[in-house]
């Protein structure tokens, strides 16, 4: 399907050096003169042998480039996910406990607004305010030392994770409200168990399955959907790597990066299944 992308990778590589003889030589060297089926089979053989081919643009192994860039994307995705959990679950719990009160309306209203704001709009706004006007955070790059890395990560993680935090808070509220209406919660209250203990030890734990599902789905999306934020903040990462590969028609890099995205989603879904059994001992996998 990458061959449906408009443009010619050979012409993009040659630029001003373009002539028919050179074009045909480069096309043959890259294997683009062969039928699509043959090119696909070559790609699959490379994957089976643990290789993803060679980048047209840099003439380096695709897997090596991804390994170099992936830690930046993983760093950003984990930062966004930590922020989502730290904000989403407490806010959702607060809204559920104070259902129908001002705290509920305010938190869910803010969450609805956060869900509707695109990450790149939020990122640009934070860049203008906190980087350009106030100078609290760097505008570009991923930093070098621990402190610089943390400062460079803060704004992108907020831009990427705030929407997930808002979605998580709404799911946590809804799930917790369903559990609070169950018989075992009413029985615990009737036996005189302290309200805080009922909430955090019994109700909250039993409401975590939908939350874990959303966390897993969003972690997979975060690992595969960091491109816009990485471009806005000029951060390295495989999201930006994919966009650059599309712009330069670097077919092996596009295919390899997309394959890594799919592997990440598969791994995350497997971890979510494991987390189900940890959150609810009644769930067993035979």
pLDDT at 225: 62
Domains and CATH numbers, the chain: 7-48 (no CATH), 62-279 (1.10.3720.10)
What's the confidence (pLDDT) of residue 281? 63
Lowest mean pLDDT among 50-54, 128-132, 202-206: 202-206
Can you tell me the mean pLDDT for 127-136? 84
What is the model's pLDDT at position 26?
81
The pLDDT-based confidence of 165 (bands split at 50, 70, 90) is confident
Distance of alpha carbon 163 from alpha carbon 84, whole angstroms: 8
> What's the pLDDT tens digit per position in 193-247?
777 777 777 777 777 777 877 777 777 777 666 778 888 888 888 888 888 888 8
Mean pLDDT in residue range 96-125: 84
> For position 140, what pLDDT does the model report?
75
> Of 120, 145, 122, 147, which Cα lies nearest the Cα of 136?
147
Dist. CA 244–CA 123, nearest whole Å: 20
Between residues 5 and 263, the one the model is more confident about: 263
**pLDDT over 70 (residue 248):** yes
Q: What pLDDT score does 176 carry? A: 83
> Given this model, what pLDDT does residue 224 score?
64
User: Which of the residue ranges 111-120, 226-235, 268-277 would you say has the lowest mean pLDDT?
Assistant: 268-277
pLDDT band at 74 (very low <50, low <70, confident <90, very high): confident
**Dihedral through CA 222, CA 228, CA 234, CA 239, nearest 10?**
50
| Higher pLDDT among residues 218 and 162, named by residue | 162
Question: What's this model's pTM, rounded to 2 decimal places?
Answer: 0.77
């Amino acid at each position: 399907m990458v061959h449906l992308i408009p443009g010619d990778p050979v012409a993009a590589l040659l630029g001003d050096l373009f002539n028919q003889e050179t074009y045909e030589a480069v096309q043959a060297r890259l294997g683009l003169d062969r039928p699509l089926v043959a090119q696909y089979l070559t790609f699959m053989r490379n994957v089976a042998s643990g290789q993803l081919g060679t980048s047209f643009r840099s003439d380096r192994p695709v897997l090596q480039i991804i390994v170099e860039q992936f830690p930046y994307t993983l760093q950003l995705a984990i930062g966004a996910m930590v922020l989502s959990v730290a904000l989403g679950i407490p806010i959702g719990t607060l809204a559920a406990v104070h259902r129908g009160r001002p705290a509920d309306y305010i938190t869910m209203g803010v969450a609805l607004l956060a869900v509707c704001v695109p990450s790149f709009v939020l990122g640009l706004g934070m860049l203008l305010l906190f980087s350009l006007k106030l100078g609290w955070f760097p505008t570009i790059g991923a930093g070098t030392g621990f402190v610089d890395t943390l400062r460079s990560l803060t704004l992108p993680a907020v831009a990427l994770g705030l929407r997930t935090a808002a979605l998580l808070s709404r799911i946590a509220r809804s799930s917790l409200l369903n559990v609070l209406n169950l018989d075992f919660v009413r029985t615990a209250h009737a036996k005189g168990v302290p309200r805080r203990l009922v909430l955090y030890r019994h109700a909250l734990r039993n409401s975590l399955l939908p939350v874990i599902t959303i966390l897993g789905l969003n972690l997979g999306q975060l690992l595969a959907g960091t491109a816009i934020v990485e471009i806005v903040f000029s951060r390295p990462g495989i999201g930006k790597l994919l966009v650059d590969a599309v712009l330069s028609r670097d077919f092996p890099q596009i295919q390899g990066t997309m394959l890594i995205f799919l592997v990440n989603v598969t791994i995350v879904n497997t971890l979510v299944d494991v987390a189900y059994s940890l959150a609810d001992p009644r769930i067993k996998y035979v």
